[in-house]
């Protein structure tokens, strides 16, 4: 389609049961490492199922201070850590100007489930009369995207796509659209109204062609995020296009 640019992946970030970084995750995959193991996050002795794929040995204090941790469900902790890695891997710095052109689009089947569990435990096991004051910001489905935007300085669109196992695929599609559709819209605008625009107005519209960079997340329990940007954009010096596992990132 005329005016629609290719969109490429430039950065990866992962927090998973088989690796807390994209490199560790890939290394575990090619070595056949299983992420399954005994349940440790919750009271496994009261459950019929004793095995799950948990993110193990994750220390939030390595990434957040005590005050931040009190406002972050485990899903949001994973999301922010993976987002930071994806942004760093993409080789970009989100400054004041770029923050308005950057979006956080996350695919997540649910929100902060551990916060929900804690709330039920307080109310029905400990017979408390109320839940933690920040329960809603921690458990809401869009918490991960909101925290990514706040922690990473993203001021463009930030929302979560929740469609069960299709969440990641839908997030990819929605992340792709603003990068391409914005370009097509602005080209049509210039084509139809360009003769009536001043030089400064044309320059301003053309400056808006700089793409939204978008971030998306694989699922609730194990976070994997990528950075996308439009081909042809004046990308940062260290940005690169990731194609196949044998290229670029995987063998750097």
pTM for the structure as a whole: 0.77
Which domains, from first to last, does the chain contain?
7-32+64-251 (3.40.47.10)
- 30's CB contacts (< 8 A; 6+ apart) are none
On the 0-12 / 13-18 / 19+ scale of CB atoms within 10 A, 28 is middle
Whether pLDDT at 148 is above 80 = yes
In this structure, what are the phi and psi dihedrals at residue 51, rounded to the nearest 5 degrees? -120, 140
Q: For the residues 155-174, what does the mean pLDDT come to?
A: 87
Q: How many CB atoms lie within 10 A of CB 185?
A: 13
What confidence tens digit (pLDDT) does each residue in 181-204 have?
Answer: 655 455 555 555 555 566 666 666
Q: For the residues 59-87, what does the mean pLDDT come to?
A: 93
- 141's CB contacts (< 8 A; 6+ apart) are 108, 110, 111, 160, 162
Q: What's the pLDDT score for residue 248?
A: 44
Whether pLDDT at 80 is above 70 = yes
Alpha helices, DSSP H, located in the chain? 22-30, 66-69, 74-90, 96-99, 113-120, 135-139, 143-152, 167-193, 199-207
Q: What's the pLDDT score for residue 24?
A: 95
CA distance 28 to 56: 14
CA distance 149 to 146: 5
Greater pLDDT, 157 or 252? 157
What whole-number percentage of the chain has pLDDT above 90? Answer: 37
Cβ-defined contacts of 240-246 (< 8 Å, 24+): 240/10, 240/91, 241/8, 241/9, 241/10, 242/8, 242/9, 242/10, 242/11, 242/12, 245/26
Whether pLDDT at 73 is above 90 = yes
Contact 76, 64 (CB under 8 A): no
- 82's CB contacts (< 8 A; 6+ apart) are 13, 14, 15, 217, 223, 224, 225
What confidence tens digit (pLDDT) does each residue in 105-139 have?
Answer: 899 888 898 999 999 989 998 999 999 999 999 99
Whether pLDDT at 239 is above 90 = no
Give the DSSP letter string of 46-75.
G-S--EE----S--GGGTS-HHHHTT--HH
| Dihedral Cα 189, 193, 196, 197, nearest 10 deg | 0
Greater pLDDT, 239 or 139? 139
| Dihedral Cα 45, 49, 55, 56, nearest 10 deg | 40
Interaxial angle between packed helices 167-193 and 199-207, expressed in degrees from 0 to 180 and rounded to the nearest 10: 170
């Amino acid at each position: 389609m005329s005016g629609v640019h290719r969109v490429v992946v430039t950065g990866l970030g992962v927090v998973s049961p088989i690796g807390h970084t994209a490199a560790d995750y890939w290394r575990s995959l090619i070595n056949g490492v299983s992420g399954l193991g005994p349940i440790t996050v919750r009271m496994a002795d009261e459950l019929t199922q004793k095995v799950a794929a948990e993110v193990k040995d994750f220390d939030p204090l390595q990434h957040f201070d005590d005050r931040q941790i009190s406002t972050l469900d485990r899903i949001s902790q994973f999301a922010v850590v993976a987002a930071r890695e994806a942004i760093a891997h993409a080789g970009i710095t989100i400054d004041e100007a770029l923050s308005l052109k950057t979006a956080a689009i996350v695919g997540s089947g649910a929100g902060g489930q551990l916060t929900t569990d804690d709330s039920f435990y307080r109310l029905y096991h400990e017979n408390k009369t109320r839940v933690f004051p920040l329960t809603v910001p921690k458990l809401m489905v869009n918490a991960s995207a909101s925290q990514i935007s706040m922690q990473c300085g993203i001021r463009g669109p930030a929302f979560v796509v929740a469609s069960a196992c299709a969440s990641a695929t839908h997030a990819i599609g929605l992340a792709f659209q603003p990068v391409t559709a914005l370009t097509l819209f602005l080209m049509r605008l210039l084509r139809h109204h360009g003769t009536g625009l001043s030089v400064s107005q044309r320059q301003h519209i053309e400056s808006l062609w700089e793409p939204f960079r978008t971030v998306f997340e694989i699922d609730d329990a194990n976070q994997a995020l990528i950075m996308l940007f439009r081909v042809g954009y004046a990308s940062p010096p260290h940005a690169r296009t990731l194609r196949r596992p044998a290229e670029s990132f995987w063998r750097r």
